[in-house]
Amino acid sequence: MARVQAGPRRLRPTFEGEARQPYLRIRPEPMSPTIGAEIGGVSLADEIDDQTFAEIRRALLEYKVIFFRDQDITPAQHVAFARRFGELEVHPFLPHRDGHPEVVVFKKDENLGGYENVWHSDVTWRLEPSLGSVLLAREVPPVGGDTLFCDMYAAYDGLDDELRESLDGLRAVHDFTKTFGRLLTPEQLEEKRREYPPAEHPVVRTHPETGRKGLYVNAGFTSHIAGMERAESRRLLDILYRQATVPEYQCRFRWRPLSVAFWDNRAAQHYAASDYYPSRRWMERVTICGDAPR
């Protein structure tokens, strides 16, 4: 197997193609050379006009994750904003807000610590994984609880040429049982496995809107590479997983109450630092349905 170089290679600026057009309604402030931008002057509680909405969508594609501060929005407004981007998911395993099945609730305190501290893209175990997620902070710890995001285009571009070429045509199996399955009884697990069988996706995904290639395996939900010996599959996946840990491919977001992060699950992975126990951290997430990876 080809080796992977230590450190980043071919860091490719995010400003290219359509992204070179000026923004007229919003002013994204980049957080790193490749991923993340904070957008001010937009209220997600208001009805957003079509031109501003189009620029928000373009910023999402360009920066892979965008952030908004001081968004005092209701669950209904949260849902309405996300629904502009497509049909919304109802998560089959996570708790939701009363009256709003699309709003997943993450409440952590002295009784339940954070457990999302693994690099992942949401619900890749679905046959059609999500387009993206809109996460709102209701309450945050006085310090800690940041979320990190990784540009999976950069992670792919940074591989050695030989290794990148060897990934062409490979497919990986994604399975919810690695995470959510541990919370189920054997009977519940059997029922959910029938409803959500393991999904097979390309190891390298071509983004349906940007056309760029990115790594599409993650430590949270990928179980193995299809048709490959398990030991060889594990060695290769370990190399690919490590790409998400390269700081030059990342940005880090420090939450404040009523901050919003909106990330593109097709192009980014995220990691929620679980360094705040026993402080309270209350987040609410709405996820937009996507399509079958290609």
Catalytic residues: 120, 122, 270, 285
SS3 143: coil
Tokens of 255: 């939450």
CA–CA distance, 194 with 99 (Å, rounded to integer): 27
CA–CA distance, 210 with 193 (Å, rounded to integer): 33
Nearest by Cα to 128 from 208, 48, 71: 208
CA–CA distance, 10 with 157 (Å, rounded to integer): 6
The alpha carbon of residue 97 and the mean position of all alpha carbons in its chain are separated, in whole angstroms, by 21
CA–CA distance, 20 with 234 (Å, rounded to integer): 40
> Rounded to a whole number, what is the largest CA-CA distance in the chain?
55
CA–CA distance, 98 with 284 (Å, rounded to integer): 12
CA–CA distance, 274 with 114 (Å, rounded to integer): 5
CA–CA distance, 2 with 223 (Å, rounded to integer): 21
CA–CA distance, 201 with 249 (Å, rounded to integer): 23
